[in-house]
Structure 1
């Protein structure tokens, strides 16, 4: 059975930026309730009082304050090492029977110089490779018979080490990427492991992206 509280919660959860603003207490709940009223009434099939919607929003904001804010801020304060690399190139290739074999050839070249950057990710139909620009000629040669869908130069990476508890707290990545989005940072690639993730951005945006992530370590309960 649908209730005002359940409909209000569903409405808010489908609008992530609104969800975060409520949790920070920067939205006038009475004004928001007034805007939500038509959709809430349509969903319930009956008239509802604005005060009831306001109360549901208040309860939700109090719950969010603990469920999201305190837990996520604790993880962010414990962010570990942040590593930045520049002069990177991002390639994308269509998955083929020979792609893994050619990647093995490339890794063999990368292993000759430990200072080189290399990372890759594989989807169902496409595989991405991000490397230091100094070995881009090797990539071009090794993968010359593969179908390349794009190449992007002048990129940088930010690799962040997260505390192990990050895998048990929902919303950690959402909050990080939301902050980057608010600053207009365009993310070309995201590569992650269990307790570490790397974002690839354009060189011209690396400073602001680094500042956003670094500032997260100093965050208080938000």
Structure 2
């Protein structure tokens, strides 16, 4: 038999933004309960007191799954170095039988260049290369026979170093990307390793994005 508390838990779990706000104590529980109340009554097929819904929300806020938010905040405070690079170009190619060979040629070519940004990722059908704009001619030379599906210039990257415990705390990337989304920041690419990640964004938004990520450390 479904209870008020059970319905409230299911309702909140379906809404991650609400879950975060509830855990932070920035939601008016009385107003929220009035919003939820009609759905609960429809599910239970009986009248429900507003006070009972408020009580369920209050108890839910204290449960362990919501304390996970505070574990996320602890990781945020331990964010390490934040590095910004500009004047980047993002290339996307279709995967072919020759593309890895051409990628090896590219790596050999850029190996002698100092202070060059380079990263690459491969999916099932696409190969992505992000490179400093000044070496764009090298890419276009070596990949001239490959199928280029997208090229975006005037991008910047922000690389963030995370503490080792980030791999054991769920919701780290969701929390960060949520904040960036709230500010209307468009992510062209996201590249990650175990303890760091890089986002690729338009140069016009780099200052705003940097500010959002930097401010995570003071939450």
Fold match, TM over 0.5?
Answer: yes
The CA distance in 2 between the partners of 1:103 and 1:25, in whole Å, is 50
Unmatched tracts of structure 2, length 5 or more: none
Q: Counterpart of 1:145 in 2: which secondary structure?
A: coil
Counterpart contact for 2:187–2:199, Cα < 8 Å = yes
Q: Show the 5 A alignment for 1:1-222.
A: 2-44=2-44, 46-63=46-63, 67-219=67-219
Deviations 1:17-57 (A, max 9, x none): 22222222222112112212233344445543332222221
Deviations for 1:118-165, whole angstroms, at most 9, x for unmatched residues? 111112222211110011111112112222221111100011110000
Separation of aligned partners in 1, 2:66 and 2:35: 26
Secondary structure, in 3 states, of the residue corresponding to 2:62? helix
Determine if contact 1:84/1:156 at 8 Å carries over to the other structure.
yes
Q: For residue 198 of structure 1, report the CA deviation from its aligned partner.
A: 0.4
| Structure 2 contact 19–66 (Cα < 8 Å) conserved | no
Contact 1:188-1:199 at 8 Å conserved across structures: yes
Q: Where in structure 1 are there 5+ consecutive unaligned residues?
A: none
Q: 1:103 to 1:4 in 2, by over 3 A?
A: farther
Q: Is 2:23–2:66's contact at 8 Å kept on the other side of the alignment?
A: no
- Relative to the length of structure 1, the TM-score reads 0.90
Give the Cα–Cα distance (whole angstroms) in 2 for the partners of residues 47 and 104 of structure 1: 68
**Matched residue of 1:90: which SS?**
strand
Maintained 8 Å contact 2:20/2:69: no
Q: RMSD over aligned Cα, in angstroms? A: 1.9
Partner Cα distance (2:44, 2:147) in 1: 52
Secondary structure of residue in 2 paired with 1:217: helix
Give, in whole Å, the separation in 2 of the partners of 1:192 and 1:162. 11
Does the CA contact (< 8 Å) of 1:23 and 1:64 recur in 2? Answer: no
Partners in 1 of 2:42 and 2:129 — Cα distance?
48
What TM-score comes out, normalization by structure 2 length?
A: 0.92
The separation in 2 between residues aligned to 1:48 and 1:140, in whole angstroms, is: 66
Which structure 1 residue ranges, 4+ long, deviate > 6 Å from structure 2? none
Provide the secondary structure at the position in 2 that maps to 1:131: strand
